[in-house]
A and B are shown apart, each in its own frame.
Chain A
Amino acid sequence: MSNFASLTHMRIRLALRNKMFFFFSIVMPFIFFFGYLGFFGKSVPAGAAYFLGPVLALNVMGSFWGLSATIVMFREQGILRRFHVSPVTASDLLASSVVANIALTLPTVTLELLLARLIFHVHTLDNLFGILVLVAIGTMSFACLGLVIASVTNTMQETQVLNQLIWLPLIFLSGATFPLGYLPRVVQRVGLFLPATYLVNAFQQVIVNSASVLSRYTEIASLVFWAILTFFLSMQLFRWEPETKIPRRAKLLVLATAIPFVLLGIWENRTDRILRESQTAFAAFESALDSLRPAVRMTIQPGNAVNPASKSPP
């Protein structure tokens, strides 16, 4: 237990001294935050609230990226070897990585929530505690994904390629960049097989519809189950030494991590619950923006303006 605590402490300290961490985990999330809420959300509360979910999800999902890279780097440089000859165990190292990640994500997210309220007047944040619970669960799940990536790749280059391959579908097909309700039907169907979709939806329902966290039990249960599975698997595949290559058989084992969301995806494709929820949220968002449109129309088509105050050109 104390090994775990001191390792967590070390990981947090090292992350805060790392420029890459500063950029990817602090600067980038705020670029997304202001871009999405301000630009796509048109800076109105309903729009900002709708996009806060995807922004939080992006922030949370990014955890696998830095984590896999750090562990592979530690292995390549022989840092893990040094820990191996001490009483530190693989589970100490892996669990501390995950917990450090959660601890590093929560402050950024809290600040984002605060700014959403102060700048964009998102007043549906009644459920602050619930949102932070989702953040912690989401970060844990995606950090565990990072652990698996670290175990199946041998070099930093391989890690970055795999990260990229996983990251792109996660952000584009899940509603984290383009709203799920806006995507073509086929893409929505594919999106239902991705953990990211459930994370985004859970955030949106809790933020936009003030749903209670407990009502998101499907999303939470599937993410937690997935985290346990990936953590257990990464412990089995853990390698201290850079020379130890991963057996091909083990790479197949990794496919097992996809099982929970394949099953859930099949189920959700039949019930369409998540799709309906995200479409409703999207429709609500659009109609909220629609209510802004008369003002917009006024300037574009002055001839049809209802507003008597506007002057039509001769």
Chain B
Amino acid sequence: MGNAILQVENLVKRYGDVEAVRGVSFSVEEGEVFGLLGPNGAGKTSTVEVLEGLRARDSGRVSVCGLDPQRDSQALKHEIGAALQSTALPDKLRVMEALRLFASFYRRRRNPEELLERFGLKEKRHAFYNQLSGGQKQRLALAMALVNDPKLLFFDEPTAGLDPQVRREIYDIIEELKRDQKTILMTTHYIEEAERLCDRVAIIDHGNLIALGTPRELKTRSGGTTRIEVRLSKPEPNGTLRNLEGVVDARELDGTYVLHSARPPQTIVSLVKHLEAEGNELVSLEIATPSLEDVFIEMTGRRLRD
């Protein structure tokens, strides 16, 4: 395998009494897109901010581009590019001015014209920041992350709050960066985003890393089973659904029964028979192909999105 451009060992970050990151370890190889997947408040942003040198860590070892983000933060900032969450630019700054301004801060620079072209902002070059749409602002944020031709990119929730169409636009941009062999560490709470964009994914919950691997690995690790979600007219006693044919795991999540089955057709037949015998009725039935959501449910007993 390639070289690790980023290494994290037992990273801990506290805010007062709250432990936001509780001993997370992972590494990112050069040229890969690495995703931190988890619900809001899982500690993804805190992790990323420590790696960017924006926050001090409480313990653990961290190396980014061969530097310690805390000690060598100034040197590190020349090597990385970042699109942060909840950030903005001055309202009356023009698109081109923003790119030029930020480019001027770096030793290594990319041509702002080229970035405008590439991120579809050419027509907006003279627009004020407050005249841009949400998608355009996000494209500008990504373009600005590239002004110094960084070795490592951090995208923190790059599509949060964007509508689906704009989100797909951003996916295309990130996929293009991926084709260029850019190394990206991104965070997301969207499963499809992690599955579509990331070479490897670390699933994070409550400050802990609970699973790590390629999306395919993670899915097969969860047994390669199919998720069947059913709603019933009457509650079913705990555990009875687990005995149905082919079922490897069954849980109740907010009134929905989530079954994981190795043989879906058999499971459904035996489910229907079981319900008939019990005088219970199916209200709804959904079959989902294995996804990272299953991994999350299996590890935490909760859904990724509440």
A residues whose Cβ falls under 8 Å from a Cβ of B: 2-3, 6-7, 10, 13-14, 17-18, 74, 77-79, 81-82, 84-89, 240-241
Q: Which residues of A contact B274 (CB under 8 A)?
A: none
Residue contact B104 to A17, C-beta cutoff 8 Å: no
Complex alpha-carbon distance, A139 and B135, angstroms: 40
B residues whose Cβ falls under 8 Å from a Cβ of A: 52-54, 74, 77-78, 80, 82, 84, 86-90, 92-93, 97, 101-102, 104-106, 144
Complex alpha-carbon distance, A7 and B105, angstroms: 9
List 26 A-B residue pairs with CB atoms under 8 Å apart, sorted by A's residue number: A3-B104, A10-B97, A10-B101, A13-B97, A14-B90, A14-B92, A14-B93, A78-B88, A79-B87, A79-B88, A79-B90, A81-B84, A82-B84, A82-B87, A82-B144, A84-B54, A85-B52, A85-B54, A85-B82, A86-B105, A86-B106, A87-B74, A87-B105, A87-B106, A240-B54, A241-B54
Complex alpha-carbon distance, A82 and B90, angstroms: 11
Q: Which residues of B contact A79 (CB under 8 A)?
A: 87-90
Q: Which residues of B contact A6 (CB under 8 A)?
A: 101, 104-105
Q: Which residues of A contact B82 (CB under 8 A)?
A: 85
Complex alpha-carbon distance, A241 and B85, angstroms: 12
Complex alpha-carbon distance, A304 and B144, angstroms: 80
**Residue in A7, A87, A241 whose CB lies within 8 Å of B77:** A87
CB distance from B192 to the nearest CB of A (A): 27
Residue contact A17 to B105, C-beta cutoff 8 Å: no
Complex alpha-carbon distance, A2 and B106, angstroms: 10
Q: Which residues of B contact A86 (CB under 8 A)?
A: 77, 102, 105-106
Q: Which residues of B contact A18 (CB under 8 A)?
A: 92
- Name the residue on B nearest A85 (C-beta): B82
- Name the residue on B nearest A89 (C-beta): B74
CB distance from B150 to the nearest CB of A (A): 11
CB distance from B76 to the nearest CB of A (A): 9
Complex alpha-carbon distance, A88 and B148, angstroms: 13
Residue contact A78 to B84, C-beta cutoff 8 Å: yes
Q: Which residues of B contact A2 (CB under 8 A)?
A: 104-105
- Name the residue on A nearest B147 (C-beta): A86
Complex alpha-carbon distance, A79 and B98, angstroms: 12
CB distance from B162 to the nearest CB of A (A): 17
Q: Which residues of A contact B78 (CB under 8 A)?
A: 87
